[in-house]
Homo-oligomer: A and B are copies of this chain.
Amino acid sequence: MNKDKKNAQEGGAGVVKTSSFTFDALKLESGDKLGPVSLAYETYGCLNKDKTNAILITHALSGDAHAAGIHENKDNPGWWDKFIGPGRAFDTDKYFVICSNVLGGCKGSTGPSSLNPKTGFPYALDFPLFTINDIVNAQKRLIDYLGIEKLLAVVGGSMGGMQALSWLVNYPKSLRSVIPIATTVKHSPQQIAFNEVGRQAIMADAHWKSGNYYGGPLPSKGLAVARMIGHVTYMSDKSMAEKFGRAKKAVEGPFKFTADFEVEGYLHYRGDSFVRRFDANSYLYITKAMDNFDASKGRPLPAALRGVAAKVLVISFKSDWLYPAYQSKEIVKACKLAGIETTYCEVDSSYGHDAFLLEVEEESHLLRHFLKKVFYAYEVTGEYGE
């Protein structure tokens, strides 16, 4: 198969496996101790001899460790597959790419649906509240375990971008660059509000039972509503108009409030498929961590970034109204005030917040060239930029 053809295919990184890394205990920002902690993770490409080519990819709210490739005997390309693989933006012929499921998640990492070793039952709401910084502290343990002293880059969109910012503030000496995409230093009240309505929908479900639904019927209707709200905010007015218009679909039966507009059918489909793959309690905990995130912990962000030698690329999307460009510009401004070498691009996309998953061509171009510059700078000078 020629390379072009291979690149165009899904699963360009080939057949991949999810691994698991477990460590004894993590002290959380709240002071609580959690342990043992497992993180599910995948890697693509090879770590070079000098261990200078490792890129950590951090996922968004509903993501997982499976960012690229396909699993054996499955047809399930990872959530950022088009960006990762030989010749792609995160070129696995050059770079060693790592992605792990977040702490508190439900895709192999320790979270509310995991067994509490003290009781033998799922944690449910006994799982401690955690923060984006806690998620990153757990990732740092994984990176240490993989023997990587300094990451070439930490890259993520949406909540992944918050993790990238947390890395920049908390582990500036452990990375050479950071790429926060379609994200924010801290949630606005509108962003908190959308998350809170989703949480309320879950907790309103009679099956939620204060989180103790494991082994019984799941709070699927509530979680589906939460996911539907999410999807409305992930698209733009324009992308919805282009995708659905006011088209109606054939519906059967006398029920008056069936989904007769195509956009309604799409939301139902998205809601229904989500509840089969996501844990409602994880949704509560992770959205709360997003809402509580403040990259600089109340300090002015430039002060928190002073002296940081990493390079930063910030990307936003014009039609993204959930994480509007002005929030990316706040990151850029803070980085520049802190003297960090910062590049910014607002991509002219109509896809809304989803653009960070969909604008493959332009986004790949930006990522590819930025990474090359950072990687090449080291290769030539041998300096970490400290």
Contacts and interface: CB of A to CB of B under 8 A. Distances in A.
A306 interface: no
A373 interface: no
A123 B227 CA distance: 32
Interface residues of A, number: 52
A245 B189 CA distance: 6
A197 to B, nearest CB: 5
A34 B365 CA distance: 61
Nearest to A127: B256
A180 to B, nearest CB: 19
A331 B152 CA distance: 53
Interface string A84-117: 0000000000000000000000000000000000
Interface stretch (A63-71, A159-167, A203-211, A377-385): A203-211
A190 B352 CA distance: 12
Nearest to A228: B197
Contacts of A221: 200, 204
Q: Which of A199, A203, A259, A264 has the most CB of B within 10 A?
A: A264
Contacts of A241: 188-190
Interface in A213-251: 221-222, 224-225, 228-229, 231-232, 235, 237, 240-241, 243-246
A344 interface: no
B193 A264 contact: yes
Contact of A257 (B188, B201, B203, B261): B203
A14 interface: no
B267 A186 contact: no
B240 A186 contact: no
Nearest to A203: B257
A192 interface: yes
A194 interface: yes
Contact of A188 (B125, B197, B201, B240): B240
A284 interface: yes
A139 to B, nearest CB: 23
Question: Which 5 pairs show the lowest CB-CB distances between chains A and B?
Answer: A204-B221, A206-B206, A189-B263, A189-B240, A189-B244
15 contacts: A189-B261, A190-B241, A192-B246, A192-B261, A193-B267, A196-B264, A197-B229, A197-B267, A199-B257, A200-B228, A201-B201, A204-B222, A204-B225, A206-B206, A246-B294
